[in-house]
Each structure stands twice: as C-alpha cells, then as structure tokens.
A and B are shown apart, each in its own frame.
Chain A
Amino acid sequence: MSTSASSPARPRAGPPRDYRFPFFERVTLDNGLSVIVAPVHKLPIVSVALVADAGASSESPGADGVAQLTARALTEGTRRRNGDALGEQFERWGAAMGAAADWDAAVVAMTVLVPRLDEAMALFAEVVLEPVFPERELARLKAERLADLLQLQTEPRGLADEMFSRFVYRATSRYARPEHGSVASVQAIDRAVVERFYNARYQPAGSTLVLAGDVSVADGVELAQRLFGEWSGTTTAAEAVDDGPARTTRAVHIVRKEGAPQSEIRIGHVGLPRNHPDYFPALILNGLLGGLFSSRINLNLREVHAYTYGAHSSFEWRRGAGPFVVSTAVKSDVTAAAASEILIEIARIRADAVSEDELTLATSYLDGIFPIRYETTDSIARALAALAIYELPADYFDSYRANIRRVTAMDVLHAADRYLHPGRLQLVVVGDPSVIEAPLAALDAGPVSVHDAEGKAEQ
C-alpha cells in the first residue's frame, strides 16, 4: 500500500444530527380495532396496512395454506364488485394494493397518492370487510400455488429453504411444513374452509390499521372510525406454535439435484422467538457471525476461499422460535470444505469474546442505518405493523439505538454460548450426490442421508 503526499487524508465524521422515528399515535376504537397513525408530510403519499391475526401459525390442523389463500382471495371479490372490477378500480387510482400472509399475520397493504386516499380507503375497507371468496377465483389461486410448488422442484434456493425447515422442525410443528401449504393440503381447502378461517381470524379486536404518510392523526382516525367503526366480532388469540426440533443431534441431509454446478447449503437449528429478552445480543451476534458483508462467515467463504458469491446467517424472527440458519451456494467440489468452514466459525464465535473493535462493527452499523430504514411511507407502515404483531413496547423505536449500543462483547459471547448449538446443527445441501456425498461423509459431521426433490429418503 503506497501513500501519496498530494491526496487528502481520510476525514473524520462530523457530529451526528438527531433522529427520531416518526411520531405516531395509537388509539383503540370501541370495537377493539387498534389504529396507528404516523404523519409524515414529505411527499403527497400515504401507505396503509391492515394487520390481522391470521398468519399460517393460526391455521387449524390439516388446513396448511389457508392463511395465504384467504389473504390473497380478499381482493378477488366483494359483495358489490368482482375481482376484475376491484383490481381495475384500485389501479385507475394508481393504488398499489395487495394482501399476503406470513407465519404470524395477514397484511393488506396499499400505497396511494393523497388526492385518491379517501376513495381508495373506502374500497380498501370493502375488501377487508365484505369479501365473498368466489369459487372460481379460489380454484385459480390454488392452481397458482400448485404451480409454484411444481417449480420449486427445479429451483434449488427455494427447495433448500423448504427442505431445511422440514429437517429442522419436528413433524408436529407447523414450521416443518411449507408456509403457504403443500400440494395435498392446498388441494383439500374449499370455500367453506376459507370462510371459516376468515370469520375466525379477521376480527376488529386483534387487528391493527396503520396509516403512514401525508395524513394527520385526526384525519387518519376519522377515516378509520368511518370505514371500520361498524366492524364487529371477537377473536381468540392464536395458540402458541409448536416450535420443537426434529432431532437434537447433528445430521447431514442431501437433496438430490443431478449435475448441479453448485450446492445450495443451509446449516442451522431452531432459533429464538421474536420477543426473546436477548433479542439485541442475538442481533449483534448474528451480524458479526454472518449478517454483515464484513462478517466472519462471508469474509471466510467469499473473500478468503472464494467458494461462493456470498454467505450469510440469520435468526428468522417469528412469534415462535424461528430458525437460525447459515445460507450459501458454493461450487459443488468445495461443498464439504465450505460446510467445514461454517462449522469452524460457529465454534470460534462461541469460544472467545469478540474484540471491542469487532463488536462496534455491528453495533455502529445497526445504530447508524436506523434512520435509513424508514425513508419510505411503506417501510414506516410495515415497521408499525411489526410493532402490533409482536406487541413491542410503544417506545420500541425510540429506545432501539440505545439498546443496540448497550450490547457488550460478553453479551455476545453469552448469546453465542446459549443460542448456538453446534451439536444440534442440521446440514441441508441441495446438490449432486455423486460429487458431494463422499466428502460430506468424510467431514464426520453426522449421519448422511440422501433424499429426492420431494424430501423422500432414498434406499
């Protein structure tokens, strides 16, 4: 590295300017609907989110996929309009509108320019409150889900994610099975099942309406009262989800993809629930292990060994304990070597405390990017939706940065010791067994089994 007398020295940062998450107010209507309004007047645009306690975790046994199907079918017809008319009307107002369910909630979301807010909100309410779930549209949505599942058989990334869930969670856990349902479960869902799910899970108490953008608190609450004030009914809280592991000893699961030039690798185990008291230490731990570009796993696999285009780790946060997983795709002939490096990094971060310098890589990153996350009305609305879904405290955003900065190297070490379990890791690899099976067996990371693209064990 040379230095040049003429080039200016690296500057220091100036004093940071204060930032606060946008002010928001939360009120509860008489029918129990929670309303959150966050006025942000930068541009004439508003994002809306209706959050219902209607995620995949709240499905009845045997109805896997009904949560997503119900959410998607909301926009397919109301008592007054069919799906085509609804879509056309939203779009002629320029409203970007859609509904989907994840594990924990169903979210109906819309972003619209202010001049169209009133009429678009009225139609938005109609979609949420008066859906009729036409048979024909349900049949089509089911067929689209079946097409997705079919495509998954040749799509190694999605396939690796699905297979990982299956090998990590025990069979009784909803988390072991596809979030949006399997071929058999989706085929079995009829209109009565959807209606029953809608009636049970879409209720004012337990739901939250978020408005973020160029709207005042008074106008937002008035709009909510006028359009959703008559909504009635009660809901029961969803039962706690079974998040138990499939096994407590390490094992290697190969999913066959003949001739694959790369192996898709997933290594992990059951992680932590979103409301865990050590959420912040776990965030920092993950950032340093594999969450950041400059994390140990990415630098090792990409920049030192050039095994991959990228490698990262994450705790997937859900109401129940979502998975902790390290994900990467590597050239087939280095599959075992890459898996070995991942195991080494997991062991290493549990062995010794990180240095102060390394710690601040993650703390200063998460502290600094906080305002960058909330530039758009849509991202603010989604953050407030998460506040409702996970019942986070009202000062969650205002205390977030202090909570990040408070994490110490010892906290990270304790989190690594308590929440990473080398002996329980499941190694799931979608790749070509003729290239990767023997080296993975030689790794001695646990018993090796080979499966087809539908997860059935061979032999």
Chain B
Amino acid sequence: MRVPIVTFRLANGLFVTLSEDHTAPIVAVNLWYHVGSANERAGRTGFAHLFEHMLFQGSAHVGANEHFEIVQRAGGTLNGSTWLDRTNYFETVPSNQLAVALWLEADRMGQLLPAMTQQKLDTQRDVVKNERRWSVDNQPYGTWWERLPALSFPPEHPFHHSLIGSMEDLSEASLEDVAQFFATYYTPDNAVLSIAGDFDPAEARGMVERYFGGIPRGGGKPPLRPMEVPARFGEWRREVVEDVVMLPRLFLAFRAPVFGSDAHYVATVLAAILGTGKGSRFQHSLVRDREIASEASAFTFDLAKAADILIADVTARPGISATRLEAEVVREIDLLRTNGVTAEEVERAVALLETALVSALQSAGDRADKLSMFATYFGDPELVNEQTARYQRVTAAQVNALARDLLGEDNRATLLYVPAESQAETSADAEIGETAGAGR
C-alpha cells in the first residue's frame, strides 16, 4: 500500500503536502512548526509549550477559545502538542469544513499578536503550571520526563532542559517573549502544512493559496546551540531518585542513532525485540518467566537531531529491590549484547511494527501528521512510503552489530526510582521477594 502524495511550496516558503483518500467524508489538516523546547533561550524553559497554549487564545479574527468552539461546532476534533524539536497543531473535520479549518490556521499563523493580552498570558501560565503539577509533580515517577533528557544530554545542549519548564521560568514569560517567539518561529517558511482525506486537490490548493499566500515570509531563525554529541555517552551515568512510589522503577537509557537514519530503523527493531509484545525479551524473561518485573517495555524518543535515546522502562514486582531490578535488567541487556538475537526475533519485531504502521495510517489525522513529520525533518514526505521496506531490510546481523556498539557499559544512563522511606516496607528483601506478593 502506498499513501498518494502531492507537494508544492508557496512563494512565502510554506511547504504543503496533500494526500487524497475519499473513503469517508472527512479531512485532516496538520501543521508542523519547526520549533520546540530546544529553541528556548536560557531562563525561558517551558516557553515553546506555553506558546502552544497561546495559539488557542484567538487571533485577529478569532476570539479567545473560539478556535476550539469553531472546530467542535464544525464537528471536528483538534489539539496541539509540543516536543523537543517541533510543535504541531491539527484538526480532523467533515470534508465540507476544510476551508474553515485552513482559514483558522492561517489567521493565527498570520495575525496572532493583535489578540494577545496580559490577562490571557497570565491565565495560560496558570493552566500550564497546573498541567505541570498534574503530569509531573503529583504523579508517581512523573519527573522522569525531565530527568531522563537531562541525564542524556550535557547541560548546555538544547535537549537537556525541561520541556514543560520550571515554575520560575514560566512565571518570567512575558508578552514581549510571545511577540518575539511568534515573529521568529511562526512563519510560513518554518512550517509544513499537510492535508489528508476527502478533498479536491485543485480546490484545496486554491484554498491554501488564498488563506496562507498573503502571510509574509520570516526573517530566518537563529541557529540552535551546538547539537553535536558523541555517538556514545562514554561512561555509565547514574541517578537515583527517592519518590513517593510503592515500587522501584528503572529507566535505562542508551544514546542511539538519530531518527530517520538506517541505523535508527535497526534501533527501533532492537527496542521492539527488547520490549514490545509477549515474545519480547523483557516480557518473556523479566515479567513472565522469572517474575522480576510487573511491567516492562523499550522504546526510542525519535529525535531527528543530535542523537536519539533508546530507553528500557521496567517496574519491579512487589518484593524485588531496586538493586535487584537493575541487576536483572542489565543482565538481559548483557545477554543480548553477548549472544545476539535470532532471525526469528527480528521477524517478530518487524511484523509487529508493520501492523502498527498500517493500523495508524488508516486515520487521516495520523496520515497527515506523518507527512508533516517527514517533510519537516527531511524535506521529503515520500519517506512515509518507505518505512515498511526499511524495517523489512533489517537483519539480525545489523541488530547485533548495533547492540555491540550501543548497549555497552560506556553508553548507559541509569535513572532509578526507589520508594521513599515511608513507602519502603514492601520492597525490602530480594530473597523473600519472588513469592511474596503484595500482601497488604
């Protein structure tokens, strides 16, 4: 199966991808801005994400919160999200509402600032602080989201600092920051627009030109601070965190090849062999066979610049100590690295990845998002059609070579959560642990 793709670029630099599918009368609109937390200046951690909130606060011809209301009234779904190196905005609407969706996105790309007020900024700042409390501060293990990148990238690196931001930095953000960030990064030449689903290509192109054509090109964005990092950490880093949790949980991270490279496809297969599905190493050995872990998975962050990280995420069974948990996970990693994987393990991992890809591409919103992603990172949305073949080309020999390169002791970062004193009574002793259960 191939996703049909047409691309063009407006005079102001906006890159557009179109993908037709007339199965149902719905259409997805998806915008990627090539800016994320990596672009934040010192003292403004969390700003890229706070700014994303401001994009729902209206623009020259759209009232506060009206963006949400217009799309939902139109019978559509919508949201936005911020990541280390990009921010996206998207809606899926009935196909007769395509013009409305494009007009809304164009209005805020072209004329956001007239609608910005101090009161709106103050409100969204408090909303985001509550988002931080909800997802990080009042959630068991919630700080892993900021501790792991901090452990994996050096202090001055653009991927080092917290995406959600510190309370102090959020308090400092000003309307002037909003204006400056908007002028620098929210420009048509720093964005990709994708439309997927039920539309007429000529009509859609006309709408894009009409609504986005008049938005002026940007003045260029400042380069990111240096991104280059060595291929390996060069050491075994460790951080132990006492948290209000009941069970130890280990994040074991490895620096990995950048997203999009051939080696990254190999790394994704390696992660699936380790931690996706019942037949994965972790599930088979740690969860099912030896009952060390209650949950176990492995995945990549999919960073397209600098270097990616591959992460093993394993939670202990009651009665298994943090020390034992880490030793057992490391043992699995060492075993794989020493003895290698089989062709059958690769086949299993690739088959699962393939089904997941096809499943995701059924939805217009997912299709549009993938097109925007490949266009933003690599300038080539056609890469969406190469994914299956690239997974299928991965061999056991490649996985083994990568494992030897990346899973060694000179490329590990341990982030280990242990129950704080008051929670510690159940994680006492490894020896009695395996049959102890959670008898509380």
Contact = CB atoms under 8 A, between A and B. Distances in A.
Interface of A: 1-4, 6-8, 10-19, 42-45, 75, 83-84, 86-88, 90-96, 111-113, 137, 140, 142-144, 146-151, 153-157, 183, 187, 260-262, 264, 292-294, 299, 302-303, 306-309, 329-331, 360-361, 364-372, 374-378
28 contacts: A3-B61, A7-B60, A11-B103, A12-B100, A13-B99, A15-B96, A45-B359, A45-B362, A88-B279, A91-B279, A140-B288, A142-B437, A143-B318, A143-B438, A144-B317, A147-B317, A150-B247, A153-B246, A154-B140, A156-B139, A187-B439, A294-B69, A306-B123, A364-B73, A368-B76, A368-B97, A371-B24, A375-B26
Given A149-B438, A294-B69, A13 B74 contact: yes
B177 interface: no
Given A143-B437, A155-B140, A11 B100 contact: yes
Nearest to B137: A261
B65 A378 contact: no
Given A11-B99, A147-B317, A17 B198 contact: yes
Contacts of B73: 360-361, 364-365, 368
A13 B96 CA distance: 6
A13 B99 CA distance: 7
B347 to A, nearest CB: 6
B398 interface: no
Contacts of B284: 84
A187 B437 contact: yes
Contacts of B69: 294, 361
B54 to A, nearest CB: 13
A147 B284 CA distance: 18
Interface stretch (B10-18, B106-114, B253-261, B325-333): B106-114
A17 B95 contact: yes
A10 B100 contact: yes
Nearest to B21: A42
Contact of A10 (B61, B94, B246): B61
Interface string B429-440: 000000001111
B408 interface: no
B148 to A, nearest CB: 20
A13 B100 CA distance: 7
A144 B294 contact: yes
A147 B24 contact: no
A10 B103 contact: yes
**Interface SS majority for chain A:** mixed
B171 interface: no
A92 B351 contact: yes
A11 B358 CA distance: 34
Given A1-B115, A42-B362, 6 more contacts: A113-B354, A137-B288, A150-B318, A157-B139, A303-B123, A375-B363
B127 interface: yes
A43 B366 CA distance: 15
B291 interface: yes
The 3 A-B residue pairs with the shortest CB-CB distance in the complex, in nearest-first order: A368-B75, A87-B278, A94-B351
B288 to A, nearest CB: 7
Interface of B: 1, 21, 23-26, 58, 60-61, 63-65, 68-69, 72-77, 92-97, 99-100, 103, 106-107, 110-111, 114-115, 122-131, 133-135, 137-140, 198, 210-211, 214, 244-247, 277-279, 283-284, 288, 291, 294, 315, 317-318, 344, 347-348, 351-352, 354-356, 358-359, 361-364, 423, 426, 437-440
Contacts of A4: 60, 111
Contacts of A157: 139
Nearest to B1: A43
Given A43-B358, A150-B247, A361 B72 contact: yes
B374 to A, nearest CB: 19
A372 B72 contact: no
Contacts of B133: 261-262, 309, 329, 331
Contact of A94 (B96, B291, B355): B355
A19 B103 contact: no
Contacts of B244: 154
A153 B247 CA distance: 11
Contacts of A375: 24, 26, 362-364
A387 B69 CA distance: 30
A307 B364 CA distance: 34
A364 B126 CA distance: 31
Contacts of B137: 261-262
A96 B131 contact: no
Contacts of A329: 130, 133-134, 138
B348 A8 contact: no
Contact of B131 (A1, A42, A309, A377): A309
Contacts of A93: 351
A372 B26 contact: yes
Q: Which of A10, A149, A374 has the most CB of B within 10 A?
A: A10
Contacts of B211: 8
Nearest to B211: A8
Contacts of A19: 24-25
Nearest to A75: B278
Given A1-B63, A149-B438, A378 B359 contact: yes
B350 to A, nearest CB: 8
A374 B93 CA distance: 13
Nearest to A142: B437
A87 B276 CA distance: 11
Nearest to B122: A306
A212 to B, nearest CB: 11
B103 A308 contact: no
Contact of B130 (A44, A303, A307, A369): A307
Contact of B68 (A264, A294, A330): A294
A113 B358 contact: yes
Given A17-B198, A150-B438, A369-B75, A330 B60 contact: no
A260 B140 CA distance: 11
B114 A2 contact: yes
Contacts of A378: 359
A368 B98 CA distance: 13
A262 B291 contact: no
Contacts of A292: 72
Nearest to A307: B130
B277 to A, nearest CB: 5
Contacts of B74: 13, 364, 368
A453 B127 CA distance: 27
Contact of B247 (A11, A91, A151): A151
B361 A43 contact: yes
Nearest to A330: B130
Contacts of A43: 1, 358, 361-362
Nearest to B243: A154
Contacts of A94: 351-352, 354-355
A154 to B, nearest CB: 5
B362 to A, nearest CB: 4
B246 A368 contact: no
A26 B159 CA distance: 54
Contacts of B126: 306
Nearest to A89: B279
Contacts of B96: 13-17
Contact of B60 (A3, A88, A294, A303): A3
B103 A367 contact: no
A16 B93 CA distance: 11
A359 B182 CA distance: 35
A84 B279 contact: yes
Nearest to B210: A8
B214 A7 contact: yes
Contact of B127 (A146, A308, A361): A308
Nearest to B276: A91
A96 B288 contact: no
A146 B352 contact: no
B247 A371 contact: no
Q: Which of A83, A155, A361 has the most CB of B within 10 A?
A: A155
